[in-house]
Amino acid sequence: MSIKLMTQVWDASAFKGNQKLIMLCLSDFANDEGLCWPSIATIAKKCTVSTSTVKAQIRELMRAGFLKVHVRLKRTDDGKTTNDSNVYQILIGALKKAIATGGEFQPGSKSNRGQNTPLPGAESDPKPPIDPPITNIPPVVPPTDDLQAKPQPIEKRTRKVKTELPRDFALTEPMRQWYGQQVEFTIPIETATDMWADAMLAKAYKYVDWQSAWRNGMRKQNQWATQSQPNRGRPMGNRITQLPGANANYDMPAEFRR
């Protein structure tokens, strides 16, 4: 975007209506040297006019000396040659001159329509072709960060799924090490794990992270054993069968059901 060129186009009284819109659009895409390469469709969309209007007005701007156009060709993957977006050169010198002189750009037809004439009818100019002619401006390679570059795809996040306790769930060495570090645990790890697994399978609990659910279950089993006041002082074998976790309504905290 060239703010300098856009300001000059705004100040120039040479452009009216669609000509000013198209020149402003080209200045919006151009660098400070006046070079840009938007497609005809892009210009038409930004100016809210038809593509045929864009082509006709560009030809008039070229004829008035404010614009030069280089039509480019490109080769497709299947070897065919087709049109690429044009390269436009805004002639800054002509633009500054129009601002200094205050001249107006009136690209109307030079005809004797509406004038008294001895001829039998008015003579009008032939209709110009829609496509602008090819000029001798050398081709310009657009930068890699073109405004029309393809957007990058958005990476989709994978949602974790809750599952039931795997049938092959087994104690691992890291799990045994963690359990041995909990000095307040009094139940053997195998016994506590079997009681916890039975509760999980009986009620078909589902969790995302079964390692975290197991650790929390071990805390619950040992907490219930510690809080079982009538069983204190009895041998461990009798105490295990009467733990609240063996027959109680076992439930896990909500944070492990995500």
List the domains of the chain with CATH numbers: 3-101 (1.10.10.10), 163-256 (no CATH)
pLDDT at 122: 46
pLDDT at 227: 79
pLDDT at 83: 77
Give me the average pLDDT of each 10-residue run along the chain (258 residues): 83 83 89 88 92 91 88 79 83 84 55 44 52 56 53 71 89 92 90 90 90 92 76 48 47 52
pLDDT at 52: 93
pLDDT at 10: 87
pLDDT at 230: 55
pLDDT at 115: 42
pLDDT at 219: 92
First-to-last C-alpha distance (Å) of the chain: 49
CA–CA distances in Å: residue 21 to residues 10, 53, 64, 72: 10, 11, 16, 24
Alpha carbon distance 244, 252 (integer Å): 14
Tokens of 89: 């050169």
Torsion over CA: 142, 31, 11, 103 (sign): negative
Beta carbons of 191 and 232 less than 8 angstroms apart: no
